[in-house]
Amino acid sequence: MVNDAGQLYTMEGIAAGLIMILTAYIVVSTTSIYTTGDTHIPDMQLEQLGSDVLAMMDTPDNSSGENQLVGLVYHNRSDNFKKEFLRYCNATTDGTLDNLHMSASVTYRKNSVIKEHPFVAPDETWTGRESAVRVTRWVQLTEGPPNPYENRLQAVLVEVLLWRA
Amino acid sequence: MVVSMVPGLLAGLESSGIDYDAVAYRTGVILVEDPGWWAEDPNGQGEGQERLRDGPSWEMVDKDKIKRVGLAVSRETPNILLSTKVEKFFSTSFFDEDDYRSKAIFGDIPYSYNFSLNISNPDGTYDLKQTGSPIPLGYGYIRRVVKIKEPGVAEINESFKDRYTGVEWNSTARNFTVRLDFSHLLDPTIKPIYRINPRIEPVNVTITDFRDYLNDSYEDAALKNVTFWKTTKEDPRPVRLSWLSYNEKKPDTYTLHLDGDSHNLTPNEPVNSSISLVLRPNFMTFMGPTDTLDIQFNFDENPPKTNITGIHHYNNTSVTRPDLKTAVLEVAIW
């Protein structure tokens, strides 16, 4: 005998199906997936920190004071450069240390050739697969014997690679 | 339609972690790279900005006039923060939570925040300043490395004794002048981060070893008063500042300490060891960029108990300026 019960079951089935599909849609659409597009945020944070550090090393503490960055590059003091750079970088306000690592190189011109001087070698945490950021700063060097690049007044480019281990 | 909007709403809540980082970054930039901004009235936008160039900055005006707080010395000096701005910013008696939200963080929703600044002193100690709530899990973050500029002190100690002690003369009045030549102090060839700018930083004149300036056999001398004289380029005759209430203590404008005790500008009290006068930037709002201010310490006793005299120039060579201090600023937003 034909009656309305089958029709009711069909409608209920369709309604239930719709609710399930809707639920699945909401769940899927609210799950945030960490895409490569979002990695620019930690990168930006590191870049900002690194360029702050280079800028502050490039600022003498008083009007007749020594410029730390120029001094370290000019005298090729790579160990001190690494120590100072990481001291600024890893400092936090609660006294704990962050876990940042770095390597650095200096790009300069000798005659008509652009050369790169490996200034600070990467430490053992470097695997080559880190998501490292690069910060740079131009440094003006005066003429003189300790200048490890070309012995003349010149601007060299200090490049620092910075990563979190 | 409503149904189709629901996922968007939830998705917005879910992805706010990324938004927090952006807000933290923006707040960090405002604090570190901007000197702040204020306006006389909420609708007139230009005035405060114009006056900010060489007038008072936000830390000297009433709170309701402040539009944006920034800690930088000037807009040309990112990452160099002014200590007086830092003090004011972290003063929770001055700013409340809504002020931090409306003048530093901005944004449509009331973000929670935690600002902390750790200043390293030359002696190896740290000076931590902090405001905001404890940081929960999942917050937006930025860390900035900065340097802090602090005001200098003109210390007049016994080494100036021969220079600033006169021989007996007829009058019993004795006065010693400290001169601030603004055209010299605000010389644009001096970089702003090393410049002495009395209009944004306190002026501190301290006479130590005052005992050495006393005449024989006297234990102390009475400082009658301190007076201020202004000269302008157009009119070289000194004009005494009459607007100032000399009989009232005004810690927002000046402080005067004799042997460590606080006084008004007409103490008439004996002093034997130190005189310290601090003029806050509020005091300097009437000074133009080419004016000269003379601070006169007057003694008048019969017989005179001190023969202190002369003019001490408050400038880059006579003022001891502390080195810039390195500091770390952390901004957390959630």
pLDDT, tens digit (0-9, with 9 covering 90-100), for B130-188: 898 898 888 888 999 999 998 888 888 888 878 888 776 777 788 888 998 888 888 88
Q: How far is A49 from chain B (nearest CA, A)?
A: 6
> Do residue A32 and residue B11 have CB atoms under 8 angstroms apart?
yes
Q: Per-domain residue ranges for chain B?
A: 2-150+323-333, 154-313
Q: How far is A97 from chain B (nearest CA, A)?
A: 12
B-contacting residues in A 53-112 (Cβ below 8 Å): 53, 55-56, 59, 61-63, 65, 88-89, 91-95, 98
Interval B231-260 mean pLDDT: 82
Estimate to the nearest angstrom the gap between the alpha carbon of B196 and the chain centroid.
Answer: 11
pLDDT, tens digit (0-9, with 9 covering 90-100), for B39-87: 766 555 555 444 445 556 788 888 888 888 989 988 888 999 999 889 8
Residue B239 burial class via C-beta count within 10 angstroms: exposed 0-12, middle 13-18, buried 19 and up: exposed
Distance CA B257, CA B236 (A): 30
ipTM for the complex shown: 0.79
Q: Per-domain residue ranges for chain A?
A: 1-31, 39-164
* Residue A1 pLDDT grade (very low, low, confident, very high; cuts 50, 70, 90): low
* Residue B271 pLDDT grade (very low, low, confident, very high; cuts 50, 70, 90): confident
Distance CA B334, CA B133 (A): 10
pLDDT, tens digit (0-9, with 9 covering 90-100), for A77-96: 889 999 999 999 898 888 88
pLDDT of the residue at A34: 59
pLDDT of the residue at A36: 58
Inter-residue contact B60 to B71 (CB < 8 Å): no
Query: Nearest by CB to A49, which of B3, B80, B143?
Result: B143
From residue A131, how far is each of A47, A102, B67, B207, B282 by CA, in Å?
A: 12, 12, 39, 57, 50
* Residue A35 pLDDT grade (very low, low, confident, very high; cuts 50, 70, 90): low
Residue B13's region, left for phi above 0, alpha for psi from -120 to 50, else beta, is: alpha
Reported as type and span, the H/E element at residue B254 is: strand B254-258
User: Does residue B105 have a pLDDT over 50?
Assistant: yes
Inter-residue contact B156 to B312 (CB < 8 Å): yes
Which residue did the predictor score with more confidence, B163 or A12? A12
Q: Percentage of chain B with pLDDT > 70?
A: 89
pLDDT of the residue at B223: 86
Interval B1-12 mean pLDDT: 56
Full-model pTM: 0.80
pLDDT of the residue at B18: 62
> Do residue A93 and residue B193 have CB atoms under 8 angstroms apart?
no
pLDDT of the residue at B48: 47
pLDDT of the residue at B16: 53
What is the residue type of A87? R
User: Across all residues in chain A, what is the average pLDDT?
Assistant: 86
Q: Is B250 helix (H, G, I), strand (E, B) or coil?
A: coil
Considering the four listed CATH numbers 2.60.120, 3.40.50, 2.60.40, 1.10.357, the one that applies to the domain covering B154-313 is 2.60.40
> Do residue A32 and residue B15 have CB atoms under 8 angstroms apart?
yes
Written as one string, the DSSP assignment of B74-102 is: STT-TTEEEHHHHHHHT-TTT--HHHHII
B24 phi and psi angles, rounded to 5 deg:
-60, -40
Closest CA to B110 of B120, B122, B101: B101
Q: What angle, 0 to 180 degrees and rounded to 10, lies between the N-to-C axes of helices B2-14 and A5-30?
A: 30
Q: Percentage of chain B with pLDDT > 90?
A: 11
Query: Nearest by CB to B323, which of A31, A62, A93?
Result: A62
Q: Is B140 helix (H, G, I), strand (E, B) or coil?
A: strand
User: Does residue B190 have a pLDDT over 90?
Assistant: no
**Which residue in chain A has the smallest CA separation from B129?**
A93
The first and second tokens of residue B77, run together, are 């000096």
Give the range among A35-44, A100-109, B270-279 with minimum mean pLDDT: A35-44
pLDDT, tens digit (0-9, with 9 covering 90-100), for A100-147: 999 999 998 888 889 888 888 888 888 878 788 999 999 988 877 767
Identify each DSSP E strand in chain A by its residue range.
100-110, 113-120, 133-141, 154-164
Query: Nearest by CB to B328, which of A26, A63, A91?
Result: A91
Q: What is the CA radius of gyration of chain A?
A: 29
> Do residue B6 and residue A31 have CB atoms under 8 angstroms apart?
no
